[in-house]
């Protein structure tokens, strides 16, 4: 195809369930998407081997699509990451501790490799190519199995002193509430994540875990318990977002992740609940993310492109 740009980068978003991959043209067009199961039960060493194999496959695809090898790779990972060092310090879902991801991939591929945090990279993708466009200050909040946030200002996502800024899922919104995987109680994640919605519904009804999408469907159909679980999640999210807004005063909040697929059934009640909590000010606008689960992978591609263009500091935000 004549419109296919010869210059590509490859992108990898390493998650606990699956590894997403893409071949992306210089203009941001995604030429190819791939997915592989992560299977972290095999142990961290096996997961990094799988990632290297996925990268090889993607590089080969890029070569077949355009006739030339990719120019660079971008990779993003969850957990505690050291972006400057290119390492994953700790990612429980991947069984990774101190894994030099950038170095391993660069050595394996013989390409320049950019490395970042999955949620912050997703925020970058929404900033430049999605629902954050035109905003100099927004918070990207993917609500999926967990809940996180990327605080994006001036085209960059805040990392914090230890690389863990944006752990919104562990903000306590129900003191003394349900035990969280982090060791705390009543974290936002225990009420409002997709996993929590599914778990709470299963517990209250005695039926097997249906998944958050089914709970949402049942709530819409008028099942009272599903409706209550959904409403609880909305109220808890509003508490978390109100705290976020009070502290950061973002111009908008971009809701992503699996739960955002509920569309207006989530955003409409959430907008009302947030406004109720922020009566002293104009609440930030709530909008749905544009890239859904692909945001992290697209962000990885942007990091790779930034690397080719001379590093993120040399690139003005495309807002
Ligand atoms: Zn927690």
How far CA 11 is from CA of 21, 41, 114, 140, in Å, comes to 5, 24, 9, 20
157 and 75 housed in the same domain: no
For 136, the domain range is 131-289
Q: How many domains does the chain have?
A: 2
193 and 232 housed in the same domain: yes
pLDDT tier at 285, thresholds 50, 70, 90: very high
Compute how many other C-beta atoms are within 10 angstroms of the C-beta atom of residue 124: 32
pLDDT tier at 210, thresholds 50, 70, 90: confident
What pLDDT is recorded for position 5?
A: 53
Residue 301 in any domain: the answer is no
pLDDT tier at 307, thresholds 50, 70, 90: very high
- Ligand 1 centroid–CA 113 distance in Å is 32
46 and 110 housed in the same domain: yes
What pLDDT is recorded for position 316?
A: 39
Classify the C-alpha dihedral 253-257-263-266 as positive or negative.
negative
What pLDDT is recorded for position 312?
A: 54
Residue 307 in any domain: the answer is no
Of the candidates 315, 303, 310, the one whose C-alpha atom is nearest the C-alpha of residue 73 is 303
**Is the pLDDT at 137 greater than 80, yes or no?**
yes
Of the candidates 134, 78, 121, the one whose C-alpha atom is nearest the C-alpha of residue 287 is 134
Of the candidates 291, 241, 250, the one whose C-alpha atom is nearest the C-alpha of residue 269 is 241
142 and 193 housed in the same domain: yes
Q: How many whole angstroms separate alpha carbon 80 and alpha carbon 90?
A: 5
CATH number of domain containing 193: 3.30.420.40
155 and 279 housed in the same domain: yes
- Ligand 1 centroid–CA 260 distance in Å is 21
- Ligand 1 (ion): which residues have CB within 5 A? 170, 180, 182, 184, 187
Please provide the average confidence, as pLDDT, over all residues in the chain. Answer: 93
């Amino acid at each position: 195809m004549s419109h296919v740009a010869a210059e590509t980068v490859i992108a990898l978003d390493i998650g606990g369930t699956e590894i997403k991959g893409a071949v992306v043209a210089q203009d941001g067009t995604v030429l190819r998407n791939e997915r592989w199961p992560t299977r972290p039960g095999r142990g961290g060493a096996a997961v990094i081997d799988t990632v290297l194999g996925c990268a090889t496959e993607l590089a080969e695809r890029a070569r077949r699509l355009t006739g030339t090898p990719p120019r660079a790779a971008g990779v993003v990972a969850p957990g505690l990451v050291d972006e400057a060092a290119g390492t994953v310090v700790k990612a429980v879902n991947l069984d990774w501790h101190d894994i030099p991801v950038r170095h391993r991939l660069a050595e394996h591929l013989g390409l320049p490799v950019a490395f970042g945090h999955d949620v912050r990279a997703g925020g970058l993708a929404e900033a430049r190519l999605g629902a954050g466009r035109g905003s100099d200050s927004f918070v990207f909040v993917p609500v999926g199995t967990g809940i996180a946030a990327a605080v994006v200002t001036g085209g960059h996502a805040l990392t914090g002193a230890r690389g863990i800024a944006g752990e919104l899922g562990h903000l306590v919104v129900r003191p003394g509430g349900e035990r969280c995987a982090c060791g705390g109680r009543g974290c936002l994640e225990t009420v409002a994540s997709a996993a929590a919605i599914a778990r709470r519904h299963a517990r209250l009804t005695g039926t097997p875990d249906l998944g958050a999408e089914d709970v949402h469907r049942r709530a819409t159909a008028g099942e009272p318990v599903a409706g209550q679980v959904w409403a609880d999640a909305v109220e808890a999210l509003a508490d978390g977002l109100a705290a976020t807004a009070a502290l950061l005063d973002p111009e908008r909040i971009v809701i992503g992740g699996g739960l955002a697929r509920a569309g207006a059934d989530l955003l409409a009640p959430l907008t009302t609940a947030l406004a109720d909590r922020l009566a002293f000010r104009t609440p930030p606008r709530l909008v749905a993310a544009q890239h859904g689960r692909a945001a992290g992978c697209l962000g990885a591609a942007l990091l790779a492109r930034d690397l080719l263009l001379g590093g993120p500091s040399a690139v003005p935000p495309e807002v």
